Amino acid sequence: MQFNGKAPQLPAKTVGTSQYFQALDNFFQVFAVKPGERLLMLVDPLLDPAVIQAIQGLCQSRGAAFNLYMAPHTRLASVPDEVKPLIASAQFVVSTWFCSIEDPFNVAQRKAGQRWVKITYFRDLDLLHSAQARFPVDLVGEIIRATEKRFPRHQDFELQFTDARGSDLRIPYTAAMRDAMFAGNRWRGKMKADEPGCYVHYLPTHGPNFWDSTAMKNDTHAEIAIDGVLYPQGAIGFDQAFSEDIAVVFKDRFVTEVRGKSREAVLLREMLIGGKLIEGGGCGFNPQAPRHHIYPAGSNAPGALHFGIDLAKPSDWIRRHMPDWEEPPVHQDLVILDATVKAGEHTLIDQGFLCALRDPEVVRAASFYGDPVSLLEAADLD
């Protein structure tokens, strides 16, 4: 005899319209276009045209100018010279391009006040019907702020990532690094593109990172003694969890060794040796994001982590298996879904559970939108 005690999904005719308008409201809040502005979309041919039309329609409704530039793909390592004048003339940029965040030209534009939305996770308009799209954008911000408060202030500390497989990666944080890392709009929980110099993701789920070049004042070549080992459960492009515990060893943020005998270990060894860590613990913060969906850059569920590595040379394996991947074949994201993370003596994540989800401020904020437990802890940690 078999049992099925799972509650049936509510019919769309009963809840669909209400849920869709929740998602639409988030969309309108994040894309805070102002009358008279010039908005530029940097896109690629594989983006759902309906996404372009949605943003174009928003601009028309608000009296903003809309411009579009389509590149052959998203994987541009830097902004082409011919596009720079277009970017410089815009107040608001919406982009699918990989080079959006770290290209020095784009960084300079944001320092001058330009506002950016990266739409890596909004490539299909049907996503507006998903649970993660309708999760309150302000509540995502509350969860991020509660996490930021757990990082020690006005002192040096160590950021440590561990798990049951043996991971132990440590990042030395100075007080100055902390101030630089957490000054941006994302770590202040500002998820809407409504303040000068902002950079946000939509759908509002991805990141921010626990460490990246922001902590080094955007010096992508800065030296830092990030040492230790990670035992990732998977990586982008692999369709199964790893069959063995594969050790990826770091010294001064560079991959020096990959230990393991499986096919996955051999591929990672060829791919990662000599690569440089550029994202140390990109964390998910949307409790309604699917936990085990890690493409294209890691899971966005709370407490799920990705570790971005820039490779020493392009990976032919990535080219073969992901020819249309949104990121270039010189990058790989390792994924850990069950890590414990500590900043000094403060626990940020406990075996994959983001501790901020139970902070009183977060629970109180969630209660305005519905049942806090249902909203915040529906994610499957198995």
Show the CA angle centred on residue 74, arms to residues 101 and 83, nearest 5°.
70
Q: How remote is the C-alpha of 42 from its chain's centroid? A: 19
* Closest by CA position to 321, among listed 310, 332, 307, 308: 332
Parallel, antiparallel or unpaired: strands 206-209 and 305-310: unpaired
pLDDT of residue 379: 60
pLDDT of residue 296: 84
* Closest by CA position to 123, among listed 94, 144, 147, 89: 94
pLDDT of residue 1: 60
**Full set of structural domains in the chain with CATH:** 12-129 (3.40.50.2300), 137-195+204-376 (no CATH)
Angle formed by the axes of helices 12-30 and 137-148, nearest 10°: 60
Structure tokens at 139: 């509540």
Q: Give mean pLDDT in consecutive 10-residue pieces for the chain, a chain of 382 residues.
A: 69 81 96 98 97 98 98 94 98 96 93 96 94 94 96 97 98 96 90 94 86 89 95 95 97 98 96 96 92 86 95 95 91 96 98 97 96 85 50
d(CA 242, CA 264): 7
Query: What single letter denotes the amino acid at residue 191?
Result: M
